[in-house]
Amino acid sequence: MKQKEHKNQQGWIEITGTPQEFEKLGRIKGMKPKQPKVLEREIKKEIRRFLKFKKIFIYHNLQGLGCYKGIADFTGLMPLRSTVPGTFLAIEAKTEKGALSEDQEFFLRSVSDSGGIAFVARSVQDCIDNLKEYW
């Protein structure tokens, strides 16, 4: 890469080159650019917005405040206008690579076996897909 360095009026060093040359500097040959990580709190925020929009009563369980191990991130009841009004709902939010603990698996299985709706949502789209059959 042909770089030209010079100081501007403020004393900063400026490096000039083509955009393709700068792109090459940012990664190792043969590697794909990194995708930004989606944090679990961002997934929870989007799920909470969707559930509020659909008027589904939910309670966001804050794990640090004495909740039992394994309880889902969101618990609530399906609304009256759904095909299963009053049914218990449990949603565990995880990132793409996030794994369920044994306690979380047990809780979701228990809710499902008891006639409730329980699933893992790795995006708001997972939430939409799992709940659309109840509208």
pLDDT digits (tens, 9 = 90+) for 2-22: 555 556 676 666 666 676 766
33 lies in some domain: no
7 lies in some domain: no
Domain region containing 111? 40-134
20 lies in some domain: no
Instruction: Say which amino acid occupies 85.
Output: P
pLDDT at 63: 72
Length of the chain: 135
Q: Are strands 88-93 and 117-121 parallel, antiparallel or unpaired?
A: parallel
47 lies in some domain: yes
CATH of the domain at 46: 3.40.1350.10
- Total domains present in the chain: 1
Pair 105, 99: CB distance under 8 Å? no
25 lies in some domain: no
Distance CA 85, CA 117 (A): 11
Among all chains, which residue has been given the structure tokens 């969707």? 50
23 lies in some domain: no
**Predicted confidence band of residue 104 (pLDDT cuts 50, 70, 90):** very high
